[in-house]
Structure 1
Amino acid sequence: MTLPMCQWLGTERADDHLVAWSATREYRQRDFRRDVATLFASVSVTPCSRWALCLEDNYSFAVALLAVLYSGKTPVLPGHFRQAQLSEQCDEFDALITDLPLQLNCPVLRFPFVTLEPLSVLPAFPENASLVLFTSGSTGKPQKIIKPVSCLERESQWLSAQWGAELAGSRFVATVAPHHMYGLSFAFMLPLSLGLPFAATSVQYHEQLHSLAVKTPLAFVSSPAFLKRLDSTLAPVTLRAVFSAGGPLESDAAQSVKATCSCLPTEIYGTTESGIIAFRQQTRPGEAWALFNNVDLRPQPDGNIAVISPIIPQPEGIALSDEIKLSSDGSRHFDLLGRKDRIVKIAEQRISLDEIEQRLCALDLLADACVLTLEKQGRVSVAALIVLTPAGDALLQVENRNVLFGQIRHALREWVSPVSLPRYWRIVPAIPLNQQGKRAAAELQEMFL
């Protein structure tokens, strides 16, 4: 049975119940109650209503999120820790809670924080509590998503009904952070709803996972990018469950995970807007996806597919950005055929090609830019065609292409993740257009052959 968030700190769980652990300490229920109440005392006395959470430590994240919610205020999860982009998003939050050396023009509470005297009893958990996440939109700008806590709780109930029995007695470890929807659902909501301990620090290497797995039963929340890199030379371990999301796993990779971890990975399909939609285990190559109970996919007159679900606040559902082939036999299965829009996934990171273009075009060295993806030797990378300004052309004449591209990459790195940086470059006098005045996709691709 899962507990709703309003009961996570209650007497339903004993004082010595293990909530989380790290290499140096364990966090018990008594610690959890005290830490939330202590931070609540600091948050509640401020006039700030929207608190951005930028925390690398997962236990600190749990404390901060509950303290902000109990104060009747709104947690904001920017989904990244880049200072330049946080400064750009400053209109979306009033204050910051962090364990990082971020410097923003707003009130900041830092872990470990200076404590006020905690309350002996927290107030009632607010009705209609919600939090804010961000995801890349089709325009390239971060898209704000308001997520009711009640939707997250119902989602945890579905996951518990599906896998709760096999997860009993296990601990949760993850390579993904709770600042994005998948990590929030599987590495934060699910263990706390089930009363299962979670690791305060994320797994970075297979060796860490291996060391933990020989000590205790584990549920592992990860991504295809990490699972593809598992070291087959290490002795196999037995995990209770392996979850993967962010993109489909190749069949060979799924079988490699089974050989290494003694169980087939369970792949999850969903979006920030919709929450979980479907799952699969690849018992055979190209296994179809199965919808969760109560979730439906409906073809729309415009050719899109809408997902309808009780955990989606909009009654009309949400149009998906993926090409989907519904099962012809009337079953609740479908195949994923790829993405429709300019949001792509590389190494399981959701990347907006439009945003990269916007960042490039804002540089003094560039007059125009066009960004696309290339697949070479099985690897998907970002490529960029650029049109230089007189300043960019002058730099190129004095230095060379490597210096020019290095300066552009250095400037971009302030705004986008490393995997978003273009790997291939072409300097052109103008971006090629077709007769309709649109960018000629085939010609753009040919320029990188």
Structure 2
Amino acid sequence: MDSQKASASVTTLPMCKWLSTERAEDHLIAWSEDREWRQHEFRRDVLSLIASLSATSHSRWALCLEDNYSFAVALLAVIYSGKMPVLPGHFRPAVLSEQRNEFDALITDLPLSPDCPVLRFPFARQAMQTVLPQWPQDASVVLFTSGSTGKPQKIVKPVSCLERESQWLSALRGAEFTDARFVATVAPHHMYGLSFAFILPLSLGLPFANTCVKYHEQLQSLAAAHSLVFISSPAFLERLDPALNMKKLRHVFSAGGPLKNAAARLVERTCGDLPTEIYGTTETGIIAFRRQHQPDEVWTLFGDITFSPRPDGNTSLVSPLISPSGSFTLSDDIRMFPSDPRHFELLGRKDRIVKIAEQRVSLTEIEQRLCQLDFLSEASVLTVEKRGRVYVAAVLVLSRSGEQFLDSQGQAALLENLRQTLRSWISPVALPRYWRIVPVIPLNQQGKRSAAEIQEMFL
């Protein structure tokens, strides 16, 4: 088992000092294939955007930026301006419209046209002061849960919690990252990407890539030129091409769900090191970590986090990363070891229970029953509301035999076959009323199922 060891040689800077003179003017902040951004540019761009923001009365600014350097500039400028940065999580118009009451204006580098004032990157530089405003002591960021089990929930995350999380991560692995660069498949508008691909490198004074990695060949090209820390998810890592050779990867982090042991070993062979898996949530921040030296390796809690069992069978955790209560009830099944409270087994998500026609319905059970059928390789089950009533809906990925049945018998016969089979296990009210057949279940940049895209299939 790995243990968390503090590293006296690793120091991190709080967010309020990222633009300070403690870093040299030519300090590298970010890079792309054709240019680099240095400390003096970073400071200048933040000051210029502060001037633009100060000319407005809007207090809550949504950040919808694909360019990671622009995101860094916008986040700091909004906070320095005494305003609230809002990270919507998704940039699709339907999602922004749904969350419209959570922000007053928007900063973007995309062709978005929401019903609010918009400041677009690249922006015209303004006449600006040369001294940064005072950093607000109560600075916070608004994020949203991934919405994997329902509508995304708003989370207000104090910057102080994000900074403490970065200190824990630096103590865990930071001493290994000297002179490395950070690249990621995940974007900073979700909690995992914000913490690992943005705050961690800037706290350590290490550069981050201006764009997210989308293809394995892209990662291989970057690894040939630089020593990298790679921030990714099981959805990307489980599909690594074993023929690739990326031995310059300094380390790999994975989050969004447990890695299968075969995938962890694939990463080790391809990238030269076992990945560090992270367990956490948007609400809690990081909770635990592991490296799979053996299959089903147990998880180790980060320092200052404790678990306790609840009478209802759930698990509560207490963590200084949770604000304001400091405690949270997990939605996962946890097996604790009474003799070893720092380690535990993660058994999976608890059933998603919903009420339909006054009956308790387990969406997890319906998914599991569907995935056991020969005609299907994957399924996602959710609820949709139509004309004031709630129904079960299912998104299906067919197996080879399912595709053959569809081609020969048609969709109506296929769905009737599925309904008849499900009736052996579940009540009539739990049978999916609406169905969609897709090539793949859509995933977000965190490698989790994109609840928003799945929900949009039934609008």
* Counterpart for residue 357 of structure 1: 384
* Alpha-carbon distance in 2 for matches of 1:191, 1:18: 11
* Structure 1, unaligned runs of 5 or more: 346-350, 379-399, 405-422, 445-449
Tell me if 1:245 matches 2:245: no
* Alpha-carbon distance in 1 for matches of 2:124, 2:238: 42
Q: 2:391 aligns with which of 340, 349, 369?
A: 369
Kept in 1: contact 2:380–2:396 (CA 8 A): no
* Alpha-carbon distance in 2 for matches of 1:152, 1:424: 47
Kept in 2: contact 1:54–1:99 (CA 8 A): yes
What displacement does 1:118 show? 2.2
What displacement does 1:362 show? 6.3
Mark the CA change 1:63 to 1:80 in structure 2 (over 3 Å): closer, same or farther.
same
* Counterpart for residue 396 of structure 1: none
Q: 1:165 aligns with which of 164, 175, 196?
A: 175
What displacement does 1:122 show? 1.3
- Paired AA for residue 146 in structure 1: V
Give the SS at the match of 2:335.
Answer: strand
* Counterpart for residue 175 of structure 1: 185
* Counterpart for residue 64 of structure 1: 74
Mark the CA change 1:424 to 1:112 in structure 2 (over 3 Å): closer, same or farther.
farther
Kept in 2: contact 1:140–1:352 (CA 8 A): no
* Counterpart for residue 104 of structure 2: 94
- Paired AA for residue 371 in structure 1: A
- Paired AA for residue 384 in structure 2: E
- Paired AA for residue 225 in structure 1: A
Per-residue displacement from partner, 1:9-39 (whole Å, max 9, x unpaired)?
A: 0000000000000112100000000011111
Instruction: State how 1:81-160 maps to structure 2 within 5 Å.
Output: 81-136=91-146, 140-160=150-170
Q: 2:51 aligns with which of 20, 34, 41?
A: 41
Kept in 2: contact 1:36–1:63 (CA 8 A): yes
* Counterpart for residue 196 of structure 1: 206
What displacement does 1:114 show? 2.2
What displacement does 1:141 show? 2.1
Mark the CA change 1:93 to 1:362 in structure 2 (over 3 Å): closer, same or farther.
farther
Kept in 1: contact 2:380–2:394 (CA 8 A): no
Instruction: State how 1:287-302 maps to structure 2 within 5 Å.
Output: 287-302=297-312
Mark the CA change 1:178 to 1:150 in structure 2 (over 3 Å): closer, same or farther.
same
* Alpha-carbon distance in 1 for matches of 2:299, 2:247: 27
Q: 2:331 aligns with which of 321, 325, 328?
A: 321
- Paired AA for residue 293 in structure 1: G
Q: 2:264 aligns with which of 251, 254, 257?
A: 254
* Counterpart for residue 209 of structure 1: 219
Give the SS at the match of 1:219.
Answer: strand
Kept in 2: contact 1:238–1:263 (CA 8 A): no
Kept in 1: contact 2:181–2:229 (CA 8 A): yes
* Counterpart for residue 393 of structure 1: none
- Paired AA for residue 370 in structure 1: V
* Alpha-carbon distance in 1 for matches of 2:95, 2:191: 19
* Alpha-carbon distance in 2 for matches of 1:76, 1:235: 39
* Alpha-carbon distance in 1 for matches of 2:381, 2:230: 31
* Alpha-carbon distance in 2 for matches of 1:424, 1:294: 51
What displacement does 1:301 show? 2.0
Per-residue displacement from partner, 1:79-132 (whole Å, max 9, x unpaired)?
A: 011011101211010000000000111010111012221221111111110010
Kept in 2: contact 1:40–1:71 (CA 8 A): yes
- Paired AA for residue 320 in structure 1: L
* Alpha-carbon distance in 2 for matches of 1:41, 1:229: 45
Higher relative contact order (CA 8 A, sep 6+): 2
Per-residue displacement from partner, 1:186-232 (whole Å, max 9, x unpaired)?
A: 00110000000000001111111111112111000000010111111
- Paired AA for residue 104 in structure 1: P
Instruction: State how 1:50-61 maps to structure 2 within 5 Å.
Output: 50-61=60-71
Mark the CA change 1:321 to 1:24 in structure 2 (over 3 Å): closer, same or farther.
same
TM value normalised by structure 1? 0.80
Give the SS at the match of 2:153.
Answer: strand
- Paired AA for residue 19 in structure 2: L
Mark the CA change 1:115 to 1:224 in structure 2 (over 3 Å): closer, same or farther.
same
Instruction: Count matched residues.
Output: 392
* Counterpart for residue 451 of structure 2: none
* Alpha-carbon distance in 2 for matches of 1:91, 1:132: 13
Taking only the aligned residue pairs, the percentage that are identical comes to 60
TM value normalised by structure 2? 0.78
Instruction: State how 1:22-41 maps to structure 2 within 5 Å.
Output: 22-41=32-51
Kept in 2: contact 1:70–1:123 (CA 8 A): yes
Mark the CA change 1:377 to 1:323 in structure 2 (over 3 Å): closer, same or farther.
farther
- CA RMSD, aligned part only? 3.3
State the 4+ residue runs in structure 1 displaced beyond 4 angstroms.
Answer: 136-139, 351-354, 372-378, 423-429, 431-438
* Counterpart for residue 370 of structure 2: none
Of 327-336 and 21-30, deviating more is: 327-336
- Paired AA for residue 122 in structure 2: P
* Counterpart for residue 5 of structure 1: 15
* Counterpart for residue 20 of structure 1: 30
Mark the CA change 1:139 to 1:267 in structure 2 (over 3 Å): closer, same or farther.
closer
Kept in 1: contact 2:380–2:395 (CA 8 A): no
* Counterpart for residue 388 of structure 1: none
- Paired AA for residue 391 in structure 2: A
Of 127-136 and 65-74, deviating more is: 127-136
* Counterpart for residue 394 of structure 1: none
Give the SS at the match of 2:206.
Answer: coil
